[in-house]
Amino acid sequence: MALNDQARGSSLLSAGKLDVAIAASLAAAIFLWLFALPLADPADLDDLGLVSILPAQYWTALVLVISAFAASLHPLSRVALLRPASLVALVILLHTTPAIVYGTLRYSWAWKHIGIVDYIQRHGTVDPTAPFLAAYHNWSGFFRFFALFADWFNLGPLQVADLARFFSVISSLIFIVLLKFIFRSFTDDRRLQWAAVWIFLCANWVGQDYFSPQAFAYIFYLAVLALCLG
């Protein structure tokens, strides 16, 4: 009996140390990421893109986040919050970095979306006969929503553009919530659920979640799946 109590106490102590190490790794990763951001100069970009200017501190932070998430899947890890925290840290490193470093929208066509939102704000309606813009004005739900949102908060096109820079961050965080609901319908093992969400975030197609109607629709698509499967 005493041996069992001793073993149980040792296991709890080991679990506590593991969770502290995971939390410390995530905190260190965010600190290194914040330190790395000012060191990345877009003027030094080469053919490799953003990868070419990210300093060693960034890659160290990424390794820490990956290690923290892998450790959080260990059976000894008892603090369930560390898994979603690792996913949020991954989203910050992958999606917030370009939004801050570039300082502007990554994709030129996203500016066209800002322009359509601005048009609706200015005129209060759409123009389905506008040359080359019929597809946008005839399927205008996304643009109408953000025009209304901008009017609510008195935002101009430049402020909407600043918000749009971080749209992939917002959408990825929403993905985490929706995917957790979806994957729990396939397994009761929470470690597998979070691991599946991690794989999705890492394998998600680049540029799929920028400020666009298709990214907005994808959120609703996942929401419908979550409701149907849940």
Give 120-161 pLDDT, tens digit per residue. Answer: 999 888 887 777 777 777 778 899 999 999 999 999 999 999
Give the per-residue pLDDT at 139: 79
Domain count, the chain: 2
| Residue 31, in any domain of the structure | yes
Beta strands per DSSP E along the chain? none
Across the chain, which distance is largest between two alpha carbons, in Å?
82
Nearest alpha carbon to residue 39 among 48, 47, 50, 28: 50
Give the per-residue pLDDT at 180: 96
Of 161, 176, 206, which closes a domain? 161
| Residue 90, in any domain of the structure | no
Comparison of pLDDT for 46 and 91, the residue scoring more: 91
Instruction: Say yes or no: 1 and 75 in one domain.
Output: yes
Mean pLDDT of the chain: 89
Statement: residue 207 has pLDDT above 80: no
In contact, 26 and 85? CB cutoff 8 Å? yes
DSSP, collapsed to helix, strand or coil, labels residue 62 as helix
| Residue 223, in any domain of the structure | no
| Residue 191, in any domain of the structure | no
Instruction: Say yes or no: 2 and 60 in one domain.
Output: yes
Give the CA distances from residue 12 to residues 109, 110, 215, in Å, rounded to whole numbers and listed in that order: 53, 51, 43
Give the per-residue pLDDT at 60: 98
Instruction: Name the band, by pLDDT with cuts 50, 70 and 90, for residue 9.
Output: very low
- The full DSSP string for 176-207 is HHHHHHHHTTT-S-HHHHHHHHHHHHHHSPTT
Instruction: Say yes or no: 113 and 74 in one domain.
Output: no
DSSP code at position 151: H
Instruction: Say yes or no: 73 and 140 in one domain.
Output: no
| Residue 11, in any domain of the structure | yes
Of 40, 62, 80, which closes a domain? 80
| Residue 176, in any domain of the structure | no
**What's the CA gap between 175 and 207, in Å, rounded?**
14
DSSP code at position 65: H
Give the per-residue pLDDT at 137: 77
Instruction: Say yes or no: 65 and 115 in one domain.
Output: no
Domain hosting residue 14, numbered range: 1-80
Statement: residue 2 has pLDDT above 50: no
Give the per-residue pLDDT at 67: 97
- Condensed to tens digits (0 to 9), the pLDDT of residues 158-194 reads 999 999 999 999 999 999 999 999 999 999 999 999 9
Of 143, 161, 179, which closes a domain? 161
| Residue 193, in any domain of the structure | no
Instruction: Say yes or no: 69 and 122 in one domain.
Output: no
| Percent of residues in the chain assigned helix, strand, coil, to nearest 5 | 75, 0, 25
| Residue 112, in any domain of the structure | yes
For the residues 35-52, what does the mean pLDDT come to?
A: 90
Q: How far apart are the first and last CA of the chain?
A: 43
* Least confident range of 8-12, 65-69, 107-111: 8-12
Instruction: Say yes or no: 9 and 70 in one domain.
Output: yes
Instruction: Say yes or no: 4 and 69 in one domain.
Output: yes
Contacts of the segment 36-45: beta carbons below 8 A, 24+ positions apart = 36/61, 37/97, 37/100, 37/101, 40/97, 40/101, 42/101, 42/102, 42/103
Instruction: Say yes or no: 150 and 75 in one domain.
Output: no
Instruction: Name the band, by pLDDT with cuts 50, 70 and 90, for residue 11.
Output: low
Instruction: Say yes or no: 71 and 142 in one domain.
Output: no
Instruction: Say yes or no: 1 and 73 in one domain.
Output: yes
For the residues 9-27, what does the mean pLDDT come to?
A: 80
Instruction: Say yes or no: 67 and 127 in one domain.
Output: no
